Amino acid sequence: MQKPEHGIRLPSSARTSTGQVRQNNEDNIHLWAGDGFVLAIIADGMGGAAAGEEASRIAVETIKAGFKPDDSDEAPVTERLQDTIHTANLNIVQKAANSPEMRGMGTTLTLAFVRGTYATFAHVGDSRAYLVEPDDETITQITIDHSYVQALVMAGHITPEQAETHSMGNVLYRALGQNEDVDVDIYYKRLHVGDRLILCSDGLTRHIKANELAKIAFSDPNPDVVSQKMIDLANQRGGEDNISVIVIAVEADPTAVRDDLSSLSTPYEDADRDATIILKNNPLKRTRETVEFASADPHDTLRLPKQKTQEWLEAHENGTPAIDEDDFLPDEPTEPISPIPESEIDTLKVPTATPTNANRDGADEGRDTLTPDQ
């Protein structure tokens, strides 16, 4: 992960609610705001009241203990995140193996690690991460649900609108705690001042549509107010599941300019009053780590590695930019896809019998269940 950009701050807020129906909260959240970074985690447990709470707790506690944002280890952030999540997965599997009453326990996990304007996301399950842009309140779902209905949508069998009311909307094909190995989707995003990130469990998106989230995200500059509005609205509309949300704002830090100008307060002789003073850092400019330019496809963005930036700029000024295709970095280095091949969607068998954990937490516990064959 690159170093934080100059003059960026990341005010954030995290909230969770049991909702209006459940008696317990199987969601577990964590928000760690440090010097120039934010680590945000949402885990939505499943498998019955006690089992779901324990699975999400183990996931969050393992990551809190195992992932160090400022670790001097040379390993990339993505590698360290994946290692820690795999450890969390094994801890849940082991807990279930040692405790018969916990059999079938599992949890989703959606994580965002933001440093400056660079964000890395790790994702398993159907909790979500959204990016909301300020100019026109455009909202983009960053993560892809690991659910049966999402696989049907991606294969073109149903529409996103049909997926919202599909009877199999609670069936996941990937979650932590189901096997000793788990695939973790990794996403990268370059953020800009004014952007908002939203991480949430499906208890929020069950009642609030994406375009509504976008409007609420900019209804107040304070993330604490925004997160409370989202929780309140979901509860007003029924609160049928546990509700969790984390809101992260990307803002310019005005104090950074004052700090850099502090060197001007040093007294100097009258003879030096006309001398030019050069600041070590330009307080009004943040260095971009990538160069973006139009490609043949207007919807595609080509990104260059930082070390190629100056080389490209010099060539571009001379009118002869020469860049090898191998130099390009995709805007989204990871493009996760459903592990269910399209050819198998029609024959995918999901048992219709009531899952064994369905009677542990009331009639509505079926929300967030897994196919037994995992």
Domain boundaries, given as residue ranges, for the chain: 8-252+342-362, 287-336
Whole-angstrom distance, CA of residue 343 vs CA of residue 315: 47
The structure tokens listed for 43 are: 């885990």
Q: Which residue has the higher pLDDT, 276 or 224?
A: 224
Mean pLDDT, to the nearest integer, of 225-247?
98
Q: Given pLDDT bands bounded at 50, 70 and 90, which one contains residue 248?
A: very high
- The per-residue pLDDT for 284 is 38
Partners of 122 in beta bridges: 111, 186
- The per-residue pLDDT for 235 is 98
pLDDT tens digits, one per residue of 82-131 = 999 999 999 999 999 999 999 989 999 999 999 999 999 999 999 999 99
Q: Determine phi and psi for 252, rounding to 5 degrees.
A: -75, 140
Considering only CA atoms, give the Rg of the chain.
23
Q: What is the pTM of this model?
A: 0.71
Tallying the residues shown for the chain, one arrives at 374
Q: Determine phi and psi for 336, rounding to 5 degrees.
A: -60, 145
Sequence-distant (6+) residues with CB within 8 A of 97 are none
Domain 8-252+342-362 annotated CATH 3.60.70.12: no
Whole-angstrom distance, CA of residue 344 vs CA of residue 342: 5
Burial class (CB in 10 A: 0-12, 13-18, 19+), 168: middle
CB 368 within 8 A of CB 46: yes
